[in-house]
Amino acid sequence: GKLDAQQNRDDALKLARLMQAIDQCPKPVIARVQGAAFGGALGLICAADMAVAADTARFCLSEVKLGIVPAVISPYVVRAMGARQASRYFMTAEVIPAERALALGIAHEVVAESELDSSVNALVDALLTAGPQAQIEARNLIARVSHGAIDQTMLNDTADLIARLRTSQEGQEGLSAFLEKRTPNWI
């Protein structure tokens, strides 16, 4: 049966919370993409911290062909590709090949399908060398500085952040390990 307006809103809010959970996950999130990533799937990819796509993957914001818009996924898609590109692809519903998705910022890397696992594993290996709290702080930092004015408040906030992290347990361990030429304890 048909959903009424309230049921539609509740359903949309569930998807919005899923996107937010991915975006704010306490661990880095990698999207491994193959096949068709249309509509909501493209939103999930853009909500992830990074995306590796097979060269055969295809992407599409197909909602306008259904008489609707990619509303719930839009914050993540626009953040990934920018407003100018989103304007085109939200309105045309063109299928985006993998190489164009790379150029648009949807994917960080495009590889042969046979190299998908090894490319994702290389990212995982790189992530495992970094301080876990620092990674989450990095994501939060990017969110704060990407649209803010570079003013005294921004300068104060970034100085406060680095001072807090340098004196944190993880920061002290990372700096000590570097100076002592040893592996930090989170590895």
Domain boundaries, the chain: 5-128, 132-179
d(CA 81, CA 83): 7
Give the pLDDT of residue 184.
Answer: 93
Q: What is the DSSP letter of 33?
A: E
Residue 53: in which H helix or E strand, if any? strand 50-54
Q: Alpha-carbon Rg of the chain, whole angstroms?
A: 19
Query: 139: exposed, middle or buried (C-beta count within 10 Å: 0-12, 13-18, 19+)?
Result: middle
pLDDT tier for residue 65 given thresholds of 50, 70 and 90: very high
Report whether CATH 3.90.226.10 matches the domain 5-128.
Answer: yes
Say what the pTM is.
0.88
Beta-carbon contacts of 133 under 8 Å, excluding residues fewer than 6 positions away, are 165, 168, 170
pLDDT tens per residue, range 9-47: 898 999 999 999 999 999 999 999 999 999 999 999 999
